[in-house]
Structures are given as C-alpha cells and as structure tokens.
Chains A and B, each alone.
Chain A
Amino acid sequence: MKKEQLFAKLRANTHVQFDMPDIQMDAIQYEDTLKQFETITQSVGGKVLEVEKGADLNALIKKSYPDAKIIASNVPGILAQRNPDTVAEAQELNGTDVGVVRGGLGVAENACVWIPQTMKEKAVCFISENLVILLNKRDIVNNMHEAYKRIEMDPKYNFGTFISGPSKTADIEQALVMGAQAARDVTVFLLDE
C-alpha cells in the first residue's frame, strides 16, 4: 500500500476534527518522594538500598548478592568480569549473575527507574539474573508527567526503558512469580551524589 493513498483516505474519511486538549495535569504529589519510591519499589518486589556518601559500591554489590560470580557493567569504578561495551555479541552476556547499570530518574508513584541505553548491548539490563540500578536519590520525581518532561536518551543508541522491580508474571492461575524472562531480583542503590 502506498502511504500517500492511505493518508488521502484517512483525511477524506475524517468527518469532524477535534482539538488537542490542554494536557497540564494536576497530578499526585508526595510529601516525601524518596519514601514513596521505596515503598512502591518494595511492593512491586524490588529492593532499595540507601548508600552513604563515599561508600564502597563494589562491597555493597557483593553484600547484596554474595553468591554472584559474574558481574557485567560498563559503569566506571564497578568491578566486572564482563563489559556490555566490549562483548562481541549480546549472547555473551547470558549467565551474568549481576548486571550493574546507571538509572537517570526514579518515579515515586510507580517505582519506575528510567534507564537510557548507554552501553553497546542493552541486553545487560534484561539478561542478568539480578540487576543493580544506581540512582541519585535526588533524581526522584512524583509522577510520570514529571518524568516524561525530564527523561533523555543517548542519541548514539536512542533506546531507553523504565524498569519497576523484577520481571514478573501471573500467567499461571494468577499466581505471582518473580523472574519471568528478565532479572529475577532488582535492587536500586540510592546514591548521595
């Protein structure tokens, strides 16, 4: 089908045109966005760790996931066996115990954390058994309206995802199970930067 034909048909078939509404919402605000973010993260099955200034992140990762053998990350300063920037293929990241990525922004109303792709293989955000997201605790907004005004993508990759807790499913008899296809466990490290 030619798109010009389609556009012409759509225009001809439209009988009334409606204006775009004023979209400014008087949306929910929280007294303490950090506390709300923590509460909702836990309710969606995730964990939150408040990290003090200058704390050793590698030690905290080890403490959070003591059995982890393979860590994958391209975040400077994180000790990792695999780097999503330098693996030849995304498949090589399979079997990663902990992926460590950088979050850009957290959302209090639903525990979403915006993760723009800043690595060659975004697979690291999904394929790892456990995911650690590093987030500045001052980068938490109230709701999605505020979030969508602020999020940015790396123009090199043009991909980003909101992640709220671990991958989950309730497809078998509505029984909630954490760890469907992506990370089974997610911890958000709230950094004092």
Chain B
Amino acid sequence: MSTSHSKKSKEILKDFGKITRHDQTFWSVRVKRDIVAKQLPEWEALRQKASEIKRHTISHLADYLEEFSKNLESRGVIVHWAKDAQEFNEIVYGILESHKVSKMVKSKSMLTEECEMNKYLMERGIDVVETDLGERIIQLLNAKPAHIVMPAIHITREEVGKLFEEKGISKEIGNYDPTYLTRCARHHLRDQFMDAQAGLTGCNFGVAKTGDIVVCTNEGNADMTTSMPKLHIVAMGLEKLIPDYDSLAVFQRLLSRCGTGQPTTTFTSHFRQARPGAEMHVVLLDNGRSDIIANQEHWETLKCIRCGACMNTCPVYRRSTGYSYSYFIPGPIGVNLGMLHDEKKHSGNVSACSLCLSCDFVCPVHVNPGSQIYSWRQQLDKIGTANPVKKFMSRGMKVLYEHYPLYDTGLKFAPLINKLPWAIVGNPKLNPWCVGHDTPKFAKESFHELWKKGKVK
C-alpha cells in the first residue's frame, strides 16, 4: 500500500540522526515564527487581510497584469509573456544571446527551478551561478533544493566544508566553521558578481499600481546580482501580483515572520526601472496558472506567497525531508501544486499528510493546504490512482457498516483475532495494514452489548 512518498521517506528515515536533526531544525523555525507572530496583536487580522487581498487580485488578475505591465513599460522595462517552461527558457536565452552573455549570476528563484532553466541555459554554454549561499551549495553538489526558503539546510557543515575544499573555495583543510565557510563563499561569489554580464532575480511581489518588482533577501545577493551587470532579468509567476503599497505592507510584514521567524528580511528591494546604462526585462510565466484559476476547488493555492511556513510546521515534511516528494516544491503546498501540475504523476504525495492541519493554522494567506490535500484524496479514485487494496478494504467496510446484523456478528467474533498468531496478523502479505500500525485488541464485549446489559453506568 506504499505510495511514492512513503517509499522514498522509508529510505531517508534509515539515517535516524540526520532525520532527527532535520526535524528539530525546522521545528525551531516554527517556534521562531510563533514568537514573532505573538508580538503583533493584529497578527490574525493580517492573515485575514492577506487572504482577502489575494482573492481579490487573483480574481481580477488580467486587469492588474495590464496595469502592472503598462507601468513597467512606461519606464522602458521590456515585459515578456511566457506560456510555459519551454517558452520561458527560450525567452531568457534569447535575451542573453542578444547581449552575448557568457556568465549570469542569479538570486534565488523557485520559478527557474519550475522551468529547469539553469540546465537549459548551461547546455547552451551559459555559465549560470547561483548566489544565495544555500542555492550555491546545492548547485555545486549538483543536487536539487529540499526546501523553498532554506534549500541546503539538510547538508551538514562537514559536507559543505569538504565540498568547498574540493572546489577550491576553501583553502583551510578541515575548517568546517560556518562563519569561515560563509566568508569563503563571500569571496568566491564576489568574483562572480564582478564579471557576470547579466543578473537574474525572482520576484516576491509585483505591485500593479506603481509597477514595482519587490525582491526580499537576507544575504543581499539579489542586490549584488543587479548592481554590477548591465542586464537585469526578472523571473516572475503571474500570481505574484498585488494591487498597491498598502497591500504590500501586509505581505512584507507576513513573509519573513512566517518563513524564518524574522521581523523582516534584511533587504526588501523595489525595482521600477533599469539602473543607469543598463537594461531590464521582466518575464511573466503562466505555465498552468491560468488553468488553476478555473479550478473551483483548488484555485486558492494561487494565493501562496512561498514563505515555507507549511513545510516548517509539517510533521511529515520534517520527518521525511524535501527529497521524499516527487514535485520540486515539497511539503503541504508542494503536494497541492504538484497535483495541479500533473495529478497522475504526483498522486503519490497526497499520502504525505497526517491531516493534523497545522499548515492551515500557520499559512499567512489561508491557502489551507492540509484541507486541500484531504479534498485531493477524495478525488484519487476519479483520477485513477487510488490504491486497489485500500479500495477493496473500503468497499468491504461499506458493506459491513451498512448491514447491522453483519456488523454485530463480526463484532462478536472479532475477539478471536486477538488469539491469532503474529505470524498471521503481522504478516504484511496477509495483512498489509500491519505495516506501521499495531493491531488493536478487540474487547470481549462491545459497548453496544454492555449498554444493553445495563453495565454502562
């Protein structure tokens, strides 16, 4: 009865020490989030407003996109529209090629992961350099991010130290001190910023009324990325739009408090035009978002601001890591986005939920990812990915529960199961349910019978 998620997590769980550290790390981020949230009496009102603003914006998206792109174009920014990942990559490559770019620095962008842009560009001879420290580590390891905000947090300092030694970034062999390693990365990346001909950033928020691209980082790497090269490309999903500065205040206050438990990111930068002598392009990506709007049950996933709070709090994510999910965005929101992207391919993730709904409780924009996972589970049969054994069991239970005489008889004989040897009850082939579940002890008399006999006081 294993799903793709449970199979992968089983492998990951073999390293008990590592998974425990992973669990504790993300729980500590959740605790930090709670501390900063409690400092604001208006916290719940902020979440409510954020949700309502996003509902409004997404249900008026065409109008806001029109206003946003007009404002950017009025200041000479070139706006592109990409239908899917292929088009997005072609547009970015086209811009780079026309500027004869051989090296591009970039700040963190999950959108470029969605499009597998780095691979596309590197195959065409462009040296793409990630500049967020975590992303750079992941890139040098030739791996994929395991979290949308803290992509390399599952990697130990020793592993980072050895990687940096191997790449010539660290010269002091055996020095695994995080401060030392961060300094090494600073020097290494400084060189990259100096000679890159282009810089690409993501976009946390696009402000329609003013035409601002707002990028939030702690490292300042998005700012370094855009301060030296003469070409700035912004990779942005359609759903990143918000109406105005009053709305932006709500989201700026929520984003980092939810994501990392900080009162703000160190840098919140607002780009409205290219810097002197430079050129700025904004590439807006659809890639299915315009279809999600039509999905009455799940369209509100588009409200997500990618803070990562749902992952940090999720007991399943914390104990299975980002690599146990089949979609590039893991955790509760990733389960939903994966299903919206390709429900057949990513059905194996919907089991990665205990329905504790802790994610619904922390989500800053009331996406309610846990409740949505529940609703996806109801659809599995229709999608054609329901587990046949579970389906069989459910049918059996339906018959049992709908026929009282059958149920009563079953209950009467149930205590016999208590006497069955473990070789039968604990055999996964005969009883697939026994994996990870204890068989309950059946009572000699049911509550029903006790009641009838007046034994219930």
Contact = CB atoms under 8 A, between A and B. Distances in A.
Given A125-B223, A173-B153, A161 B268 contact: yes
A181 interface: yes
Interface in A65-112: 89-91, 94, 107, 109-112
B271 interface: yes
Nearest to A153: B272
A33 B260 CA distance: 24
B270 interface: yes
Interface in B235-277: 238, 243, 245-250, 252-253, 260, 262-273, 275-276
A121 to B, nearest CB: 7
A6 B59 contact: no
A44 B263 contact: yes
A166 B81 CA distance: 36
Contacts of B387: none
Interface residues of B, number: 89
B290 A21 contact: no
Interface in B310-361: none
A191 interface: no
A147 B268 CA distance: 13
- Chain A interface size band reads 35 or more
A149 interface: yes
B42 A10 contact: no
Contacts, number: 245
Interface of A is mostly: loop
B81 A6 contact: yes
- Point out which of A9, A107, A147, A162 has the most chain B C-beta atoms below 10 A from its C-beta: A162
A182 B272 CA distance: 21
B253 A144 contact: yes
B62 A182 contact: no
A181 B266 CA distance: 12
19 contacts: A1-B81, A3-B81, A6-B81, A6-B83, A14-B61, A18-B52, A19-B56, A109-B40, A144-B249, A153-B270, A158-B273, A167-B219, A167-B267, A169-B219, A171-B133, A171-B137, A171-B150, A173-B25, A181-B224
Interface of A: 1-3, 6-11, 13-21, 23, 25-28, 40, 44, 89-91, 94, 107, 109-112, 117, 120-123, 125-127, 143-145, 147-149, 151, 153, 157-175, 177, 179-183
Given A15-B294, A121-B275, A182-B266, 14 more contacts: A6-B62, A6-B83, A7-B66, A17-B60, A23-B250, A25-B46, A27-B42, A111-B264, A159-B273, A162-B267, A171-B182, A174-B150, A175-B178, A181-B219
